[in-house]
Each structure stands twice: as C-alpha cells, then as structure tokens.
Structure 1
C-alpha cells in the first residue's frame, strides 16, 4: 500500500520490495502473489494527506501435528519462562503502540538484523515443540513485551509470574517493555536449554510462573508489580464498549462482569478412556443419514462422528426427499445439521420446516421415520430449530416450544460448558453428571418452554445460568431436550464440532485423548440400534 508518484515514495517502495525479496530468499520461502494499491494519497482543498507505506503479508504454513499446537497461556505446572529477541536489534520505540498513545511516531523502528539467525531460531523452536518441551508461547507484537507477558496470564485465574529482565540490558525499562522488536516468550522444560545452546540460539531465562494474579517485573533500575485481574478488565474494556453498541448496556455489562468468572471446570465420565471406538469390520454397520438444506453446514463433522461410532452414513439433501429419491425407509439414525438453511430469511429453520410441510414426499418420509420405534434422531443447532419448529419433540403439548432470538440480540459463537442432567436420552443418559466443554454458534438458540420445567425432558443445562456462559437466555437454562421416549434429541450446542481434544478451546491438562467424551453419545446410538436387532 504505497503513495507512488510522490516525491521520494517510488524510491522507498523499491527499497521495501527489495528488502522483502532478500528476506524471503534468505529464509528459503516465497511470496507467491500480491495485490497492491498505489494511490494512497487523498487531496483536499487546503492540502493533501499521504498514507505511510505499508506492507501487509498473510502467512501460511503446514501443520504436521495439530495436537502439538502451543497455546498463549502460561501453565502453572510448566517450566521456566524464556525470552528470545528474534530481531537481534536494540530496542526501538518508533512506530510502536506506545509511541502512538503519546501521539508520536518516532524515528527508528526495529528491524531483523540477521535473517539466517532468525531462520535457525525458528527451526530450533519447532524442534522443541515437536519434542514436547514447550508448554506455552506468545510472540511479541503490538504493545511489546509487557503486553505479551500480561496476555500469557489473562486466559486463566490465579495465574501470574515473577520476572527478572536484568539479562536484557540496563536500557530504559520503557524501551524494554514497550519496544515491538519481533521476539517470543515461551515456557519450557530446563532440558530445552541444551538444544538452544547447541544451535547457537541466544536466549534468556527471565522468570517463573506462580499462582498469584500478579505480574512482578524487575531489572537493574527498579521493581514493578501489575495486577492481572485489573489489567484483564482494562484489556477487555474495548470489547465491552463495542458490545454495548450491539447487545445494549444490560447484556454488555453482564458479559463484562461474568466473562472472567465463568471458569471452565469439567467432570469427565469415570469410565472414559479417551480411545476411539473399536468397530468390528465383520459386522454390518447400521445405516445413518445426515439431513441438510441450502445453507446448512457441519454436515461433514456430523457424518464423521456417526462414521467413527460405527454407522454407514448417507448424505441426504432436501432435494432427495422432495423428489422421492430418498425415503429414509432403511435409515435408523438421522442427524439434522447446523448452519443457516435458506439463509434463515424467514427465521430460524422456518424455511427448512416449510420444505417438509409443503412437499408431500419429504413430509411423508419424515413422518414415517418418526412413527417407527426403531429409529433415533438428533437435531443440532439449525437442525434443533427444525425439529422444534415441526413440533416433533413435544407432540403431546398443545402449546409447543419455540426457538427465539438470543437475549443478546446477536449471533453468539463461544466455547462454553454444560452439565448433563439425569435423563432418558438414548444418546446421553450414560453421560449424566458429566460437565463438558462444547462449542456454541447460533443467533436464535433460546428455548422458549411455555410449561413448567417438569413437563420437559431436559437433557443438559449450561454450567452457569448467566450470560455469556448461557449464550441465549433459554428457559430453565436449557441446552438440550429430548422427547418422552428418549429416542429423539435436539440441542443448540455443537457436540459434533467438539469431538476431538484439539477441537476444544480448553481441555484438561495432561490428557492425550483420541476423542472427547462426546463420542460416547454416538456410540450409544449405534449400540442401542444393534441391541434392537438381536
């Protein structure tokens, strides 16, 4: 993004492109394509404004092992905290966030002095990560070293660190903390030091983790202490002020008050071993189908969950049912998926429901399926809205449940937790008493249940009644309900998107599970059908 054809700008652009080219060649990577805007100048009656030259690069790389991803939150049980100045340059404040809040620009910005050393350090860190020696890490970006250190503490409670930055030099503490020299802070085993030394990487051990919400920093010139809980709120306040514009002052304040108190605490089933289901290849797989409509999504995740649990899974689009190509006669388990069927222009799944109600073949296929006593179904998110809209869950109720807009009046996409109640659900009765993490993503997920709570088979509730852990304000804190037989289940959370350990935004530390406990729901469905066949 450059203001070409202005004095000195073409020469500066040439220097920038040359520097990018030389750096990429030194690293052994390429910049495959580009999009430029070379008219970054605005003229006014009384003057003109030239935008500063900017290079924006989106980087991508291959991930060999998604389970080895390092997260930006310090581990209370982990090793020491280390710092590497990847730039090799002295600390400079030009162009930094610190300079900007003082309404300044500065004259010197940090550079990377040695591309070869940068490459060696990067590859060494990858080696450490693959060897399982790194427990946490965060790059130095906007805000400098102090922002990185604080953010490493924000994602947990009662977490802090004691740091000694004396080894970084005796320059002004402001430069040390706020310079945006490219670098990394990471937490690692002591054995990592030998590998760093062997590769000639300059590193500094700067501190240790503690279980007090304080970040203490010292160097040769003084000592400083930062209150993590207070600064976490300062850090979040920008989001809170924006949230007021979307959700209004009441829900925005509720989120601001609760976001740090809705701690993710889990209770896994005692018999859960984390292993993938073992499927007998000699036995025929029960037949399952994934139902979808225009605008649906997550069909692959749901199909994968069914397949891993031992089902032979068929993809069924509404056009298959409407045309009569599919009747569901040989299907015993159906899953209606999430998404935004028909763009939800008529409301949550109302267009999808209409496709059943006003197309005789589709209507008959679904009616016949639900009448059979050897069938199971699960409706997830948009699929939940569909089955509720069609009145399939509480057929004996004169006034049916409804799915309403979230109390926040906006789409909610969060990772939250819920507790499985004592229930009669075929899929989830064995998980009763468990509290598990799960993804939520919906705009109209509020269960409106017009009768008393005991008139419904509530299978699961959010772990906290308040927003945002309960993202929609459902009656009785409801996340999932089933029909009276327990064979038909609807839910707003996406258990099919929470199937693996690496799906979860937060997972119990130290576990190496092949699947999460949610897999049991799909295995239960298969085993129920197999018992029926005997």
Structure 2
C-alpha cells in the first residue's frame, strides 16, 4: 500500500515471510519456520553530491540548536526496539509509518533545507531511538549536548528509546525561523520540537521535567557504545590492535582527520601542457584488479591519454610498453591473492620471456615512469630486480591486525626523489586505504635506511603529525609508518594507499573547506605530467 502512496517502485527485494519446511520422522510431524524478515532494495539519483548533510555536530559561531522532527507524533511505541531486545522481550506495539503524506512532506522539506544550506547536521532516528541518534551525532562531531525532552511524551524511557520515524537536525540560530517556515509551508506542522544545544564540554545531559535523566561523558558513552565491537574484535583479530583502537577512544581532544598542506590545491601545475600532445599511459590490470577506472580518470584529468592495457595484451604481444611513457599498476586482488598479494601478477611477468623483456626494457628507459597502487604496489615490489634503483624496496605481507583494512588514514608526504611527490614534502592529508597485506617486510634495507636514503615517500601519522605505528592510525603496522617508496632516481613509485580514489574533493568522506574542486592528491598526477616536459 505504501509504495503507490509515495509514488515509488521496488526494483528488487527478498522476503522470508513464509519460509517453512515440514517433514515426518519416527517422532512424528516436524516443522521449522524461519524468522520473519523483509529486505527491500531501493535507489535514487543524487544530482549534486556537494548538497549533502552529515551527522556530525558542527561548530557554529552564532550558536546552533538541535531540533527533533517527530514523524511518530509522540506515540513513542517501543515494541521490537533495541531496548526490548536487550531485555529478552519483544514489547507490545511497534512503530509504524502512519501518515504517508506527512512522510512525503517531511522528505521534500528536508531536501529544500539541504538545497538552501540551512542544515548544519542531520541524523535519522532509527535503531536505538533518540538517545542513540544524539550519541552518534555527538561522537561524530566530538561535541557535548544539553537537551530537554520534557515536551516529547509521557515518560523519558519511551521518548529516548522508541524507534519511531523522525530526524534530529542541527540548525544555526539565525536560520531557525526559516526552517520552521519551510516545514509549515510543506504542511509539516506541530511535530518540530526544540531539543537543546551543542555545548563545549564533552558531556551529554538530558533533562526530563526538571530531572536530570542522563549525565554522561561523551568519551565514556562512546567506549560503552564500542565495547561489544571491541570484545568481538579482540577474539577475532589481533588483540593488541583491538585494544589500541579501543583505547584511542579515550583521546577526544584532537581531530584524527585534518589537512596541513605545503601547496595550493587550486594551482594546476599541469595547465601549461594541456594544449600539447598528451602522453600515453598504460593503465595496467590483471584478473581480479578493480581500480583501473579511477586511475584512468585521474591521469586523464592531468592531461594524459590513459589506455586500458590488460596483461593478456602484453603476454600475447598485442600491445608493447614501448608505445607508452608511463604505466600505472592498479589496485584489486590479482589472482585472488592466492600466491601472496601481487606475487602471482609479478610471476606472470618474471616467468614469461615476452613480458619479462617488455617490462625490463620499459624500466630501463630514461624517459619512462610508473606508479604502483595497492595490488599494483605489491606486484611492482616483486619486480624490484628489474627496476633500476629499487633493490631496497620491501615486500608487503599480512596486516598486523590480521584483517582487511578499509578506512581513511592520515599521511605525511616525506622528502624524496619521487617525481610524483615533488613540492609536497611536509604536507599532511587524509588518504583511503583498502588492503589485507600492506605490512612492510624489509628485504635489503631497514626502515631507517630507507628514510636516510630518501626512498620512503609517505608515512602514516597521528593527530600530532608524528609518525605512527599505532592501530588504526597505521592500518597495517608498518615500521615507522612507512608505506610508500620510490626508486633511486624517483621515476617509479609504489604505495599501498589509494590517492586515485580521492583526487576530487567530493570523493573524500571528509574534506577541508580550503580545498577547491580537486583534493590534494590530484597533485601527484599533475606532477607526473610536469615531469614529462
């Protein structure tokens, strides 16, 4: 009934609403009924990813207010909620969508607010209820809150834990009247309530009818919120890494993501070469590689002609690397990492005469360059005997956490010969990591020697900008935080993180307001174009 009222269709779904099997054995008739579940997949276009709103509480010079838009209209039904679940109950009446027209009006109003940039933060009320919504907003923004829920219902417990539809929004005090007028204009009346304000101290205080029902440290709440994950993680993963991540929650003073750049992201150092002949770069991939599209896009934006080259093209002789000035070996899982990350890919080169000769000739040219990212980094590190000046490159093995790591980490660019990193030394910025085998294992040189020889070009850092071996700031545990290297003359660079995934500012899950259209990692691709001329 709901979909026609909302004017939407369900493209695909899976239900387990009637899964039952019956049989008969020596003990008589038996049956098993699966738990009821319904999964509906839906999607919608996002016309401008810059017009989005995140849940983290934002600082606001003129002050801000937290508002609850209560689509449950104070029914506060707690049946089937997380609260009842932890007490082994199901409750009585569960929340529901009672008014489809109100829901549509709410959606349209929120879209208008986002379009007019009236919202500082937005978070839906769902699993765990209002208390969880507030906590998650506070955790994300590292902010305290002072709220009064006296006008939201008959008892504090149901107000805080009911999982009714609704949302909490943070609005500048200068825009509250605009938000209220916009809601009224859409027919959303009588369900927008003032909750309270963000506060500087790191505590969550909730008042109900002059009684303080919650008064807790944000740090303590976040530790409690994360404890179940920590307990499971220390049994499944490396317990030392699990403990380090859990203890990191005690530090709520400094942001884990920041931007300190020694260059201007708006400066396009490749601009003088746009109208010249575009150099050709081979975007290398193998079975299981999946990062070629982002890599090609980044080099195309830096005035290259990026061409898709599969290893089968080289092995068969259809394509020769002599046709290219650069190669970029992309990330993924070549051969499923069965022979070790990147090692199967490397051996397909080392033990095939045609491929061996092609790559050896390419690496020994004076005008060639190359970039290896993630799986491509692992592959190229195993070709160190073919690459002049790469004899001290390490290999990459299983992460110290014993898990695949997909997260955002902070990187410092080091002084090095890498042509990709020129003019960036000392800069610190976020980068995406996604690998299971990124831990550096030294071959012929120690981490200290790689630093002294300026062969290390990036390292993971903490909130103070110091090199970090602490998990998850250093997602794989590499010594001194080193996770990217260049050869002696700087023409070939390998690194485990993924700069090609975030060369545009909007591709980042967090971005600095000082960045323009392009993020800081676009500079490495422009550096490559500048190096050619």
Output the TM-score relative to the length of structure 1.
0.89
Within 5 A, what are the aligned runs for 1:366-385?
Answer: 366-385=359-378
SS in 2 for 1:35: strand
Contact 2:74 2:152 in 1 (8 A): no
> Residue 267 of structure 1 aligns with which residue?
260
Q: How many angstroms apart in 1 are the aligned matches of 2:301 and 2:391?
A: 39
Shift of 1:259: 5.4
Distance 1:143 1:275 in 2: 47
| 8 A contact 1:274–1:516 mirrored in 2 | no
How many angstroms apart in 2 are the aligned matches of 1:172 and 1:75? 30
1:400 and 1:89, CA in 2 relative to 1: closer, same or farther beyond 3 A?
closer
In the TM superposition, residue 260 of structure 1 has moved relative to its aligned partner by 6.1
Instruction: Give the equivalent residue in structure 2 for 1:454.
Output: 449
CA contact (8 A) 2:11 2:42 kept: no
Q: Determine the C-alpha separation between the residues in 2 that align with 1:396 and 1:409.
A: 31
2:433 counterpart SS class: strand
Matches within 5 A, 1:40-439: 40=20, 50=33, 53-77=36-60, 79-88=64-73, 90-157=75-142, 159-169=143-153, 171-189=154-172, 190=175, 191-201=178-188, 202-223=191-212, 224-258=214-248, 261=251, 263-273=256-266, 278=271, 282-391=275-384, 395=388, 401-439=394-432
**How far 1:454 moved relative to its partner?**
2.8
Larger displacement relative to structure 2 (71-80 or 323-332)? 71-80
Residue deviations 1:304-344 (CA, integer Å, cap 9, x gap): 00000110111111011111111111311211001111111
Change (3 A) 1:398 1:286: closer
Which runs of 5 or more residues in structure 1 are unaligned? 1-21
Q: Distance in 2 between matches of 1:178 and 1:156?
A: 22
1:460–1:478 CA contact under 8 A, matched in 2:
yes
Aligned mates of 2:127, 2:515 — CA distance in 1: 33
CA contact (8 A) 2:503 2:518 kept: yes
Using the alignment, how far apart are the partners of 2:45 and 2:234 within structure 1? 39
Residue 493 of structure 1, aligned match among 492, 497, 517: 497
2:431–2:498 CA contact under 8 A, matched in 1: yes
Contact 1:279 1:310 survives alignment (8 Å)? no
1:252-283 deviation line (CA, Å, top 9, x unaligned): 11221225647223202342327796576532
Residues 35 and 331 of structure 1: is their aligned pair in 2 closer, same or farther, counting only changes over 3 Å? same
CA distance in 1, matches of 2:100, 2:202: 38
8 Å contact 1:276–1:515 — kept in the other structure? no
Q: Distance in 2 between matches of 1:395 and 1:476?
A: 25
Give 3-state SS (helix, strand or coil) of 1:105's partner.
coil
Question: Gaps (5+ residues) in structure 2?
Answer: 463-467
The equivalent position to 1:463 in structure 2, one of 461, 464, 470, is: 461
Give 1:363 deviation, angstroms: 1.3
Q: Deviations over 1:386-426 (max 9, x none)?
A: 11111158755777522121111221111101101122211
The change in CA–CA distance for 1:135 and 1:399 in structure 2 (over 3 A counts) is closer
Identify the residue that residue 528 of structure 2 maps to in structure 1. Answer: 525
> 1:114 deviation in Å?
1.3
Whole-Å separation in 2 of the counterparts to 1:418 and 1:204: 42
Query: Compared with structure 1, are the counterparts of its residues 32 and 418 closer, same or farther at alpha carbon in structure 2 (3 Å cutoff)?
Result: closer
Over aligned residues, Cα RMSD in angstroms? Answer: 2.4
What SS does the aligned partner of 2:169 have? strand
Q: Deviations over 1:430-466 (max 9, x none)?
A: 1111101001111111112242423441111101311
Pairwise CA distance, 1:429: 2.1
Match of 2:465 in 1: none
In structure 1, C-alpha distance between the alignment counterparts of 2:386 and 2:461, rounded to whole Å: 23
Q: Secondary structure at the match of 1:417?
A: strand
Report the counterpart of residue 39 of structure 1 in structure 2: 19
